[in-house]
Amino acid sequence: MLLSPMIRKMPSLPTASTSTNPAPSIMVQAASISGLDLARLSFKGSLDTVRHFSQGIARAKTCKLQNQLVANMLWALVHDPLPDRPNRVEPRTRKRRPKPFPLMHQSRTQFKARFIPRKCRRPL
């Protein structure tokens, strides 16, 4: 498995090296350091922040500079929380509204052939 330069060079984030997507583990680390609720951190925002900082961290010459960039990345995550929405619930479900027609379980050509009179059909 190939790892991105960011994952190979992050000494202060050991959990990120075992994951193909380091954003969730970085979110957990940022939430635990700041005391902020994990639900207040945006996954998409975290992913964008990690991608933004990864090139700088990979190009950093010294370990001290890498650690400073990681600290800046965690600060950026913590200081951009989602708004507090106490009654928001997002259950997972399929959005398929009921329709008065059956589902099509065969190819469109075969399905249409059932409705065309035999005299008018073209050969397939």
Query: Is residue 70's pLDDT more than 90?
Result: yes
Answer whether residue 13 shows pLDDT above 70.
no
Domain ranges of the chain: 5-78
For the segment 91-101, what is each residue's pLDDT rounded down to a tens digit? 666 666 777 87
C-beta of residue 25 within 8 angstroms of C-beta of residue 44: no
Per the CB < 8 A criterion, the answer to whether 29 and 13 are in contact is yes
Question: What tokens were used for 39?
Answer: 């639900």
pLDDT at 107: 86
